Amino acid sequence: MDTLSAAARSRSRLIFDPLELRYNFGAHHPLQPDRIVALMDLLEQTGMWHSNAEETSLPLRPATLAELSLAHTPDYITAVQRLGVREDAGASEEERRERAKLALTYGFGDGDTPALPDMHEVCAAIAGGTLVALSAVLGLPEGGVFDSEEARPLHVFHPGGGLHHAWSNRASGFCIYNDAAVAIAHVLRASEMKVLYIDFDAHHGDGVQRAFYDDPRVMTISLHETGRYLFPGTGEVLELGNGLGRGYSVNMPLEPFTEDASYIEVIEHLLPPLVVSFAPDVIVSEHGCDTHAWDPLTHLELTMRGIQAQIKMAHHLAHTYCQGRWVALGGGGYDPYRVVPRAWSMVWAEMAELPLPEQLPEAWIARWRPAWLAMEEREMAAQQLMGKAPAETDFPATFQDRPGAFPAQERQWEIARANRRTASLVRSLLVPPEVRQAFPARRQHSPLSGLF
């Protein structure tokens, strides 16, 4: 079976524009645009997607100022526009101080999220991509014109999206414009539909939560590493929403070193009853893959198996409860060669109902392994300077992680028990009793029983 024909029949589209690669904070920043380049190359080499295949692509267009203003303040948008213009070499000292003050005021004053050249244009394109994606699956005019209802996509994947930390009035956590918030706010203005946003990133989806904290038309669910040890330090269970939005903000903080078994138990325990209780019209999911054990910025221990389970869950929920309407976004992921391309290829394969190859293409490995080795050499040198022993790892040859690649945590059962207690608390607070009865919790008697 031709994979592109199968993808077209599944009514799935992918959004990618080379302009998005200019979202680039520099060679030494954790967020590397190479991860998108490596992803698109992997999809091409496996035959799962081709850049010239219109039937599986959806063009983006920049979000307008009016659309950006649905989620961002006018003064912040103006600051993004001004700071995106290169500083004049002949600027006076006073002008330089004013520019530095502007950067500090709006979140660009530290090394995390520095100002980018032309960042308004680049970030408006990313926000527009997610807005087009969500509008397309909902049949809104901004999603484009299709020959028939059957030609309208049910699923859209926008790997360049998922910049979930940006606030309405400041940049944060590598994020400038909050594309998901812009797109969801547009849907709320243009329709009566309810939106479920599920954030699978290791970092709490604080920016999207903030945007809809008092709005009962949006349920935000974030499954993330606890903020006790990780940026942004938020996402506690009792962050439940405000006013009419109380009960529509859901947070599941996971223990550090959470592994696949506990993670899968949590998503199976929590997500279906929450979706049933909210009854959304569409699902937007953010698939930051910094939950993987190889990610250098976080402390979760998922393998590709756990990541694939979350993707399959999002797809299942969309078809079971939302007539298939599903938009998937990228997000975090700071192992740009070994993790991100494999994880996000799984998103597209699941969405387009394509078979996932067992082996990574040899030509793809030959292209990207040297880039990873160069990055590893820099990391090893830094580790040695700090007196740390570098970890012994290698470049994967398969989509799934090699069995035994990650030693089991000695505290696995204790970690799983803590996650189970947190998930039970979330259920008791936010899932109505009659729904809880329809989705009874499974009782685990060992770390592994009933999970596979």
Structure confidence at residue 349 (pLDDT) = 97
Q: Residue 305, Cβ neighbours under 10 Å: how many? A: 16
Using CA atoms, how far apart are residues 204 and 332, in angstroms rounded to an integer? 11
Strand-pairing partners, residue 223, are 252
Distance separating alpha carbons of residues 180 and 214, to the nearest angstrom: 17
Question: What DSSP designation does 342 have?
Answer: H
Query: Residue 361 has which token pair?
Result: 């293409």
Q: Which residue has the tokens 């997000």?
A: 331
> Do 204 and 289 touch, CB atoms closer than 8 A?
no
For residue 386, the model assigns a pLDDT of 52
Rounded CA separation 399/46 (Å): 11
Q: Is residue 451 part of a domain?
A: no
pLDDT at res. 408: 85
Number of compact structural domains in the chain: 1
Contact 421, 428 (CB under 8 A): no
Rounded to the nearest 5°, which phi and psi values hold at 302? -75, 155
pLDDT in the model for residue 388: 46
CA–CA distance, 216 with 245 (Å, rounded to integer): 4
- Quick check: is 115 in a domain? yes
- Rounded Cα distance between 287 and 199, Å, is 7
Is residue 443 situated within a structural domain?
Answer: no
Block means of pLDDT (10 residues each) for the chain, 452 residues, are 59 97 96 98 97 88 98 99 88 89 95 96 99 96 80 95 99 99 98 98 99 99 98 98 98 98 98 98 99 97 98 98 98 98 98 97 98 88 56 86 89 97 97 92 49 34
Specify if 445 maps to a domain.
Answer: no
CATH number, position 154:
3.40.800.20
| Model confidence, pTM | 0.94
In a domain, 55, yes or no: yes
Phi, psi of 47 (to 5 degrees): 80, 10
Domain with 377, as residue range(s), is 3-88+96-438
- Res 1: pLDDT: 43
Among 35, 41, 115, 34, which residue's Cα sits nearest to residue 330?
Answer: 35
Taking alpha carbons only, the member of 182, 186, 187 closest to residue 166 is: 182
Residue 400 resides in a domain = yes
Dist. CA 429–CA 240, nearest whole Å: 9
- Of 155, 158, 164, 165, the catalytic one is 165
φ, ψ at 285 (rounded to 5°): -120, 140
Instruction: Say if 260 falls within a structural domain.
Output: yes
29 is catalytic: no
User: Is 172 among the domain residues?
Assistant: yes
